[in-house]
A and B are shown apart, each in its own frame.
Chain A
Amino acid sequence: MSDRKPAPDPLATLITELRAPVSVDSASKRRLMELVRKAPPPTSAGGTPRLTPSRSRALAAIRRMRGGTTRSASASTLATAAGIALVLAVGAQDRGGPGMSPSRRAVVIGDSVASVASAIRDTLRIVQFMLTAPAASHVALAGDFNGWDTRALPMTRESRDGRWAVTLALAPGRHNYAYVVDDTQWVRDPLGTPAEPNELTPPRSVLIINR
């Protein structure tokens, strides 16, 4: 009987080596803290914006539209409103993206229904967001209008060619948004206006709704 040990898996050895701690001179950390003390204090500016009163009212109206009634009833109301007018189309610049076709867009398709409009001072606009992602099993819309919640606005697959859509009411103004594919992949709207790049946030687009 041989007492030779089997050769270790080179990959396992590599991983063990890579996990070994590294010693860092504490002076590096002291220097860093000196720079931190000199830096301007952190602020929440540029992060998820606080809701303005008008946007709060708009969100409340959206919640009223989405809640208290069935989804299909709500969609039906929106579809009626959607037929009114095409108010604004977001730019058609195609920036491409991995595994996605470029036919993604957010389009403001009409004025809000009267019951909602009368509930708030600002007129809401009905906006339809669309994304073609045939390979996706789930797509959602997230934006500053819903606190970047990746689950609050799931999109519905509308066609065999993989077009996903969701319609909602938004107040006039500037809205940052992105699509979330399969819960993890953040996708900027390539047909929309890209938001200012920020390495701290996922890719985003900007939708500006005129009054």
Chain B
Amino acid sequence: MESDAAVVRRVLNGEVEAFATLVERYFDHYVRFAIHLVGNREDAEEVVQDTFLRAYRALGRYEERERFGAWLLRILVNRARTVSAIGRRREKMFPDQVDDTLPEAAEAHPEERAALREEMARALDQLGRDQREAFLLHYVEGLSYEEMAAVTGSGISALKMRVKRSCERLREILQGVNRV
């Protein structure tokens, strides 16, 4: 597979259509991340679209020593912060996230599954922005702390603390839910 850096070079050499390769590689994945970050699908898609447009315009600043996905994620996180800062709503955390991609066990109890998702959405929503961001980057996107530092601009020790506390908080909330 052609590397992201090679695709970027083609775009910079005037092959605009090559950018579609990067869109194809990252768009869906980052919509998922943005949904969890901003809390609703409409804003998430807007954020991701805006992220790609900004990335395209700034492609000349991309340096190949950095993973393209991480560079893109840095723009995305900043856009998501802006959206969150203007106080848009957090709605469905698991919209259209689809039962046909979930394990078979879910099919037997769709109502329970929906209820579980709602509880999880509420739990994630109870985290502060920084903790939610750190938790998602580490456990869902699988970023190392070094990559997270580059994406968020925060120090590694602060990020480790945010992840630790987010886990503690989520466990506390989710176990509380299960006991009811």
Q: Are A184 and B27 in contact (CB under 8 A)?
A: no
B31 within 8 A of A: yes
- Complex Cα–Cα for A77 and B71 (A): 40
Interface residues on B, range: 35 or more
B102 cross-chain contacts in A, Cβ below 8 A: 20
Closest chain B residue to A99, Cβ basis: B155
In the assembled complex, the CB of A95 is this many whole angstroms from the nearest CB of chain B, namely: 14
Q: Are B12 and A42 in contact (CB under 8 A)?
A: yes
Q: Given A11-B170, A200-B75, are A29 and B27 neighbors across the interface (CB < 8 Å)?
A: yes
Q: How many A-B residue pairs have CB under 8 A?
A: 145
B69 within 8 A of A: no
B175 cross-chain contacts in A, Cβ below 8 A: 10
B139 cross-chain contacts in A, Cβ below 8 A: 15, 18
- Complex Cα–Cα for A44 and B177 (A): 52
Closest chain B residue to A201, Cβ basis: B61
- Complex Cα–Cα for A39 and B49 (A): 13
Q: Which of B16, B74, B96, B149 contacts A22 (CB 8 A)?
A: B96
Among A7, A39, A40, chain B packs the most CB atoms within 10 A around the CB of A39
- Complex Cα–Cα for A24 and B140 (A): 18
Q: Are B158 and A39 in contact (CB under 8 A)?
A: no
- Complex Cα–Cα for A186 and B149 (A): 9
7 closest residue pairs by CB, A with B: A44-B60, A47-B61, A10-B174, A42-B59, A184-B149, A22-B32, A199-B78
Give 5 pairs: A residue, B residue, CB < 8 Å, sorted on A: A14-B123, A21-B98, A23-B97, A33-B19, A36-B53
Beyond contacts A46-B58, A185-B153: 12 other A-B pairs, Cβ-Cβ < 8 A, are A17-B97, A18-B120, A23-B28, A28-B31, A32-B53, A33-B20, A36-B53, A42-B11, A44-B12, A48-B61, A99-B158, A185-B155
